[in-house]
Amino acid sequence: MKILTVDIGTGTQDIFLYDSNLDIENGFKLVLPSPTMIIHRRVKQMIQTQTPLLFTGHQMGGGPSAWAIEEAARAGIPVYMTPFAATTLNDELDKVEKLGIKIIGEDEVEALRSKIESLELKDFDFELISRTFKDYGVSLDDLSAIAVAVFDHGNSPAGISDRQFRFDYLDARIKEKNSLSAFAYLSNDIPKIMTRLQSVADSADGLPCPLVVMDTAPAAILGANLDPIVAKLPRKLIVNVGNFHTLAFRLGDGIEGVFEHHTGEIDLPKLEKYIRALADGSLKHQDIFNDMGHGALVYGNNPFEFGKDEFDIVVSGPRRSLFGRGGSRPAPTLLPYFATPFGDMMIAGCFGLLAATAEIISESKEIIQISLKGETGSGVAPWDMK
pLDDT 10s digits, 45-76: 999 999 999 999 999 988 999 999 999 999 99
Position 252 scores a pLDDT of 94
Class level of CATH domain 2-34+125-220+347-384: alpha beta
Position 307 scores a pLDDT of 87
Domain boundaries, the chain: 2-34+125-220+347-384, 35-121, 228-339
- In this predicted structure, the answer to whether residue 385 has a pLDDT above a threshold of 70 is no
Contact 40, 68 (CB under 8 A): yes
Q: pLDDT class for 379, splitting at 50, 70, 90?
A: low
What's the one-letter identity of residue 60? M
Position 374 scores a pLDDT of 78
Given the candidates 3.30.70, 2.20.25, 1.25.40, 3.30.420, the CATH classification of the domain at 228-339 is 3.30.420
Position 208 scores a pLDDT of 83
Position 114 scores a pLDDT of 82
Across 151-164, average pLDDT: 90
- In this predicted structure, the answer to whether residue 298 has a pLDDT above a threshold of 80 is yes
Position 158 scores a pLDDT of 83
Position 11 scores a pLDDT of 92
Position 239 scores a pLDDT of 97
Across 340-361, average pLDDT: 96
Helices (H), 161-307: 162-176, 195-203, 216-224, 228-231, 268-280, 285-289
Q: How far is CA 132 from CA 129, 147, 163, 246, 322, in A?
A: 5, 18, 36, 30, 33
CATH number of 35-121: 3.40.50
Same-fold call for 35-121 versus 228-339 = no
Position 62 scores a pLDDT of 84
Residues 12 and 16: their CA atoms lie apart, in Å, by: 13
Say how far residue 264 (Cα) sits from the centre of its chain. 17
Residues 12 and 34: their CA atoms lie apart, in Å, by: 4
Helices (H), 87-227: 93-97, 109-113, 126-135, 162-176, 195-203, 216-224
Position 317 scores a pLDDT of 92
pTM: 0.93
**pLDDT exceeding 70 applies to what percent of the chain?**
96
Position 71 scores a pLDDT of 97
